[in-house]
Chains A and B, each alone.
Chain A
Amino acid sequence: MQSFAVLTHISANFKGELPFMNKQNAPRIRIVTAASLFDGHDAAINIMRRLLQQKGAEVIHLGHNRSVHEIVECAIEEDAHAVAVTSYQGGHMEFFRYMKDLLQESGCGHIKIFGGGGGTILPHEAETLHQYGINRIYSPDDGRKMGLEGMIQDVITQCTDTRNYDEAINKWGDALPLNELKDIRVVARAISLAENGDIYDTLLQKLQRGRQEAIIPVVGITGTGGAGKSSVTDELVRRYLQAFPAKTIAVISVDPSKRKTGGALLGDRIRMNAVSNSRVYMRSLATREDNTSVSKSAKAAIDICKKAGYDCIILETAGTGQSDVSITEYSDICMYVMTPEYGAASQLEKINMLDYADIIAINKADKPGADDALNDVRKQYKRNHQLFSATPEQLPVISMCANKFNDAGVNSLFQLLLETIKNRLQLPWLHEAETFNNMLQQPQKNETIIPADRVRYLSEISKCVRDYNSWVTEQSKTASQLYQLNGAIEILKNK
């Protein structure tokens, strides 16, 4: 219950847009936001992350119920300047101290910690946490005094002092942080240097070269905004980790920067369940000044991940328009993710990626019109590639539901992806997936919750009630007339 009092206060002060700092000179502050483990109160952190972004920060939002390990791993991989976490469910002393400890142990004590929990965090507890090295726990009283904007400005101001951040590199030893298989700190910082146009080669010398594969495939995943690219990526990573128990993977995910504020909401991680894993490196990139679906720094990021020895790399773009094919410049294999909701079939003729994609995934196949979409896209693909004699099954067009667990379509997509990589790049280790693929061959029972012909049940229900009400009106009108007639008859009878 305590949370509401605070939230009330926070949102009371929130009146829309805020004045911004001069974006041109603002440093690119990167902040990870989350609500603590076993804590579903995400309203406050949602308001915070919006304001941070409006102030020009790049925000990597993890959402609610996140463990310390997940948050710390994310902060290191994203080379964040700070984490901002709310905790309304108790256990905050242990939670924040553990976060500080884990960052410190990982050589990342420079990552600042900000927190809040309304009335659940008592003033003397906040004081104890400050002494422990937590940069600031904001109290309801701070909210009253500083206002919401003041608190956010305080976070940003503290983050602009980057002395510890800059010096951290010199302290990193050989021990790998968080039992990861690679030095994710170095990879993360190298990518940041590349993003800022600085030289990163010297830093890469710190990487302990493991056995590096000769060919490292780069899979590009692109598609319109809201098509479900992140879910598809997550589902592919999950299957990859199961299929290749000794292999590593890096995911680079791009989201757009807001031109007006310079800030960005890097929201792909919130959808990911599989990436918090010692064999996975994930990095979110904002497009920054570029007006494309892929960040300029993506090439460098891929290069760095290759040098770090990741066995496979996925590059996920921001949402694209019909003409965008920039992904093809970066990747060996391109996948285009779309939904059945593209409008008329003629729209397909305009989508450039249908010419260039190696694989086309039609997500949300439980939506109406999914069968038509599969047909239309196959037809378009045939035309684009002059494959007039190909059978529909031979075409690399797959219909699937990434939001369904163990979806048969996603299983086929994964197999098709491996097949395509194998044919294109001749990777020797891909056969390791055979056992896993055999497992996938088991027939899947894909149940739907509401059958397609029942989807309009709520309309039927409101009609049912309205019909009843009009029937009542009509029948009681008749009853009234009968009452009146009866009255008249009674009067006449008695005359």
Chain B
Amino acid sequence: MIMLYTELEEKYTSLQNKLDPELQKLLGEWKQLQEKYGKEVFEYTVRGKVIRQDMATTSLSGTSIKKVMLPKYNDWGDILRWQLQENVPGSFPYTAGVFELKRQGEDPTRMFAGEGGPERTNKRFHYVSAGQQAKRLSTAFDSVTLYGQDPAYRPDIYGKIGNAGVSIATLDDAKKLYSGFDLCDPHTSVSMTINGPAPIILAFYMNAAIDQLCEKWIKEHKQEHKAASRKKEKFSGNEIPFYNDTTSPDIIPTGNDQLGLALLGISGEEVVPPGIYEQLKASALQQVRGTVQADILKEDQAQNTCIFSTEFALKLMGDVQEYFIRNSVKNFYSVSISGYHIAEAGANPITQLAFTLANGFTYVEYYLSRGMHIDDFAPNLSFFFSNGMDPEYSVIGRVARRIWAKVMKHKYNGNERSQKLKYHIQTSGRSLHAQEIDFNDIRTTLQALYAIYDNCNSLHTNAYDEAITTPTEESVRRAMAIQLIINRELGTTQTENFMQGSFALEELTDLVEEAVLKEFDRISDRGGVLGAMERMYQRNKIQEESLHYEHLKHTGELPVIGVNTFLSSKGSPLITPGQVIRSTEAEKKQQIKNVLQFQKVNETKGKESLKTLKEVASQGGNIFAELMNTVKYCSLGQITHTLYEAGGQYRRNM
């Protein structure tokens, strides 16, 4: 007996040496973890601030339900595996989420708008965000802007001004668009859906924020007369730019306190003393919060709003990131690495995830090759996925977070902040149908549930009529209600890791992870993401998967309720919209008039600025740093054309 006992002890000690000391420590901490999550109240720190949160909720029946549940494993191997592959939210590998607990008082909802001129969209922003403390705005631009051009009378341009998005051609437009929102307030967060000309639009945005601080300084120091005389001098004989909602002239929308409008037509730089201007600029850059999509790889693979040669577009992205590092822009995502458009173009969820993560790692490799440090830029990267109906969508966030964390930690030696992948979800537009459109909300609800169970950081739910037209206020309200009902009414979402521990979910996570790795290998064999793009690998794969889906839908093998089965007695006909919201003639004309006047007033300074921009570009300097100056005197179209000469236009592929 004693002999056996000694033998066992010896075996135990020798095995113990095989177990990584870090892991021994991790196992040792399991008890503490159980105690921590067994408590009623939870304390944690965010940027030095201690936050207390309840760890349990009580149901109407009086059941106390923990927000985070731990497994009841006894075997150390099971516990260890769980800690290394799952773990609690907020701990490596962040499979269940990147934050310990969900943020209180801020729903992940974004207020989406974009139509007509900047005034109309501004009005809508104020309408949809009224009464909310957190102003989370999301901007859609019209196609003229998306392709980097100015509004014009040429008919093929004219018809598109302010349709399906807002028309933004100058810094003044951007100032109007976000007027009345304090862009340097931590409760304001702005997302901009733009890619090709993203650096230019971003420079508009940053300047709008800087000029808001200048405006505050001017008022504080009673320098309004200076601004007025500068305007008078600059606009002698011309109309000084002003906020003009053509549908209701002279009226500023409710909620707009006019912050941002005092410096229309001029830059803060023209009024505020140089030293002060630099200070205000630095301060604004450190405070702004938001996201610019700016993901050029997925544009080339799926969405086609490329305007510059791919290489030059990537260089511009690198310049933006480098500028962010130099100027401590820490709360703004320089890119939203997007799978959404890849999925909308027809890719299945695995391909969506694999292509998107691969694109993300491509940016990482490029930025590293430019000498940036991983921890300086990784926290500026964010992700954007689509959630459809397929089973893999239930784990898309889990797999993305887990792969990213493992790679950041073990391959790139990134710190904890770099290891945390944050992402936005939009429910799948492609899964909405133009037949039985009432059923679309049901699909959106299920997809939103996937997303919320998966702890997405931000969520947009589509309106049920988006398959046929621009959503109305009524349909948008219903879409918002979907999120609110899941978040606030559905009892199971009060538990923040409700799905953890499901055999099926764990298995699915492993399967999808391995499938993604296999796709990485295939892309790697084709020379990495850029090499594969040259062979049109991504495009072809997306197209094939799209046809596969359409084929199954057509044959009925893939049931779609109200579309290919369960048809109504009338055969569930296609619904066509009665009317579509379009921009007005007055809005279009105003946008053209404004951009022409902007160019005229800034003619001399504009020419010089474009020349400098071109020089900086041809000498390999940081183009975004220069754009921060250029946009004060040049319009979007002028800048785009100058950059064509410096970096080349996009070349289409067959």
Chain A residues within 8 Å of B, Cβ to Cβ: 1-2, 4-5, 8, 11-15, 36-43, 61, 63-65, 67-69, 89-95, 97-99, 119-120, 122-123, 140-141, 144, 231, 234, 265, 267, 270-271, 273, 367, 403-406, 442, 445, 447, 449-451, 454-462, 464-469, 472-473, 475-483, 485-486, 488-489, 492-493, 495
Q: Is B410 close to A, CB under 8 A?
A: yes
Asked if B651 and A271 make an inter-chain contact with CB atoms under 8 angstroms apart, the answer reads yes
Whether the Cβ atoms of A478 and B15 lie closer than 8 Å is yes
- B315, CB-defined interface residue at 8 Å: yes
Q: Kindly identify which residue among A94, A462, A493 contacts B159, using a CB–CB cutoff of 8 Å.
A: A94
Choose among B76, B143, B411, B469 the residue that contacts A39 (Cβ–Cβ < 8 A).
B143
B574 & A461 in contact (Cβ 8 Å cutoff): no
Residues of B within 8 A of A40 (CB): 303-305
Q: Is the CB of A37 within 8 A of B156?
A: yes
B407 adjacent to A461 (CB under 8 Å): yes
Contacts of B75 in A (CB 8 A): 479-480, 483
CB of B513 closer than 8 Å to a CB of A: yes
- Classify the interface of chain A: helix, strand, loop or mixed: helix
Interface-central residue, B11, B358, B520, by most chain A CB under 10 Å: B520
- CB neighbours (8 Å) of B149 from chain A are 38
Encode B464-480 as 1/0 by CB contact (under 8 A) with A. Answer: 00111100000000000
CA distance A120 to B620 in the complex (A): 43
Q: Which listed residue, B77, B160, B554, touches A89 by the CB 8 Å rule?
A: B160
Q: How many whole Å from B522's CB to the nearest CB in chain A? A: 9
Interface of B (DSSP majority class): helix
Contact of A91 among B16, B158, B315, B550 (CB under 8 A): B158
- Within 8 Å by CB of A406, from B19, B468, B648, lies B648
The 4 A-B pairs with the shortest beta carbon distances in the complex, nearest first, are: A91-B159, A480-B77, A40-B304, A405-B648
Is residue B647 contacting chain A, with contact meaning CB distance below 8 A? yes
By the criterion CB–CB under 8 Å, are B12 and A91 in contact?
Answer: no
> Cα distance A480–B77 when bound, in Å?
4
Nearest residue, chain B, Cβ from A4: B430
**Chain B positions 332 through 366: 1 when the CB is less than 8 Å from some CB of chain A, otherwise 0:** 00000000000011100000000000100110011
Whether A2 pairs with B468 at a CB distance below 8 angstroms is yes
Q: Which of A119, A270, A493 contacts B577 (CB 8 A)?
A: A119
Is B201 on the interface with A (CB-CB < 8 A)? no
**Contact indicator B580/A122 (Cβ below 8 Å):** yes
Q: Which of A64, A442, A468, A482 interacts with B16 by CB under 8 Å?
A: A482
Of the candidates A42, A403, A457, the one whose C-beta lies within 8 Å of that of B528 is: A457
A91-B163, A489-B9 known; A119+B156 contact, CB < 8 A? no
A495 lies within 8 A of B407 (CB): no
| Chain B residues whose C-beta falls within 8 Å of the C-beta of A459 in the assembled complex | 520-521, 524
Return the chain B residue nearest A467 by Cβ. B410
Q: Find chain A residues with CB under 8 A from B346 CB.
A: 43
Residues of chain A contacted by B518 (CB below 8 angstroms) = 462
- Give the CA-CA distance A297 to B582 in the complex, in Å: 49
Residues of chain A with a CB closer than 8 A to B81's CB = 472-473, 476
Asked if A141 and B406 make an inter-chain contact with CB atoms under 8 angstroms apart, the answer reads no
Q: What separation, in Å, do the CA atoms of A406 and B192 have in the docked complex?
A: 31
- Contact of B233 with A by CB under 8 A: no
For B634, the chain A residues whose CB sits under 8 A away are none
Residues in chain B within 8 A of chain A (CB atoms)? 1, 4-5, 8-9, 11-12, 15-16, 18-20, 23, 27, 74-81, 84-85, 143-144, 146-147, 149, 154-161, 163-164, 303-305, 309, 311-312, 314-315, 344-346, 358, 361-362, 365-366, 369, 403, 406-407, 410-411, 429-430, 432-434, 462, 466-469, 513, 517-518, 520-521, 523-524, 527-531, 534, 543, 546-547, 550-551, 553-554, 574, 576-577, 579-580, 582, 618, 620, 647-649, 651-654
Contacts A/B (CB < 8 Å), 18 sampled? A1-B429, A1-B466, A13-B554, A38-B146, A41-B304, A63-B654, A119-B577, A265-B654, A270-B653, A273-B651, A404-B309, A457-B362, A457-B528, A458-B524, A459-B520, A464-B410, A483-B74, A489-B9
Q: Which one of A41, A119, A476, A477 lies within 8 Å of B576 (CB-CB)?
A: A119
Contact of A36 among B23, B156, B345 (CB under 8 A): B156
Contacts of B84 in A (CB 8 A): 472, 475-476
Contact, CB under 8 Å: B429 / A4? yes
Report the separation of the CA atoms of residues A17 and B574 in the bound assembly, to the nearest whole angstrom.
Answer: 27
**In the complex, are the beta carbons of A89 and B524 less than 8 A apart?**
no
> How many angstroms from the CA of A481 to the CA of B647 in the assembled complex?
61
Count chain B CB atoms within 10 A of each CB in A12, A367, A404 and give the residue with the most: A12
Q: Roughly how many angstroms separate A59 CA and B29 CA in the complex, as a whole number?
A: 69
Interface centre among A37, A43, A90, A403 (most CB of B within 10 A): A90
Please pick, from B5, B528, B574, B577, the residue contacting A122 in the complex, using a CB distance under 8 A. B577
B19/A120 in contact, CB under 8 A = no
Query: In the complex the two chains form, is B531's CB within 8 Å of A479's CB?
Result: no
B409 to chain A, nearest CB (A): 9
Closest Cβ of chain B: how far from A28's Cβ, in Å?
A: 21
Residues of chain B lying within 8 A (CB to CB) of residue A477: 77
Given contact pairs A95-B156, A447-B315, A455 touches B531 in the complex (Cβ within 8 A): yes
Report Cα–Cα, A2/B346, bound state, in Å: 15
**Residues in B neighbouring A63, C-beta threshold 8 A:** 652-654
B1 and A489 contact, CB distance less than 8 A: no
Chain B residues contacting A11 (CB-CB under 8 Å) are: 546-547, 550
How far apart sit A234 and B534, CA to CA, in the bound complex (Å)?
17
Q: Give the docked Cα–Cα distance between A451 and B547 (Å).
A: 36
Q: Which of A98, A234, A461 contacts B361 (CB 8 A)?
A: A461
Query: What are the residues of chain A within 8 A of B303 when measuring CB–CB?
Result: 40
Known: A8-B550, A119-B577, A489-B12. 16 other contacts (CB 8 A): A2-B467, A5-B433, A38-B149, A64-B652, A65-B652, A90-B160, A90-B582, A91-B156, A94-B156, A405-B648, A458-B523, A458-B528, A459-B520, A465-B403, A479-B77, A485-B11
Residues of A with C-beta under 8 A to B469: 2, 119
Q: Which residues of A contact B406 (CB under 8 A)?
A: 464-465, 468
Q: In whole angstroms, how far apart are the Cα atoms of A11 and B160 in the complex?
A: 27
List residues of chain A with CB within 8 A of the CB of B155: 68, 94-95, 97-98
Residues of A within 8 A of B407 (CB): 461, 464-465
Chain B residues contacting A460 (CB-CB under 8 Å) are 411
Per the bound structure, the CA–CA distance linking A23 and B528 in Å amounts to: 43
A476 and B12 contact, CB distance less than 8 A: no
B435 to chain A, nearest CB (A): 9
Q: What is the CA–CA distance of A17 and B349 in the complex, to the nearest angstrom?
A: 29
Docked Cα-Cα span, A449 to B303, in Å, equals 21
On chain A, the residues within 8 Å of B366 by CB distance are: 449-450
B468 touches A479 (CB 8 A): no
Give A94 to B143 CA distance when docked, in angstroms.
Answer: 15
> In the complex the two chains form, is A38's CB within 8 Å of B147's CB?
yes
Select from chain B the residue with minimum beta-carbon distance to A99.
B156
A267, B15: Cα distance in complex, Å = 66
Complex CA distance for A454 and B363, rounded to whole angstroms? 13
Q: How far is the CB of A47 from chain B (nearest CB, A)?
A: 9
Report Cα–Cα, A478/B23, bound state, in Å: 11
Q: Which residues of A contact B160 (CB under 8 A)?
A: 37-38, 89-91
- Distance in Å from the Cβ of B441 to the closest Cβ of chain A? 15
Q: Which residue of chain A has the shortest Cβ distance to B309 in the bound complex?
A: A405
Q: Do B304 and A64 touch across chains, with their CB atoms under 8 A apart?
A: yes
Which single residue of chain B is at the shortest CB-CB distance from A451?
B369
Pair B654/A43 contact, Cβ less than 8 Å: no
A348–B84 alpha-carbon span in the complex (Å): 55
In the bound assembly, the distance between CA atoms of A100 and B233 in angstroms comes to 46
Complex Cα spacing A239 to B652, Å: 19
Alpha-carbon distance A153/B160, docked complex (angstroms): 31
The answer to whether B433 and A89 touch across the interface, beta carbons within 8 angstroms, is no
Given contacts A12-B550, A122-B577, A450-B530, contact A5 B467 (CB under 8 A): yes
Q: Which listed residue, B76, B309, B574, B651, touches A479 by the CB 8 Å rule?
A: B76
Contact indicator A482/B12 (Cβ below 8 Å): yes
Chain B's closest residue to A65 (CB) is B147
Shortest beta-carbon distance, B569 to chain A, in Å?
18
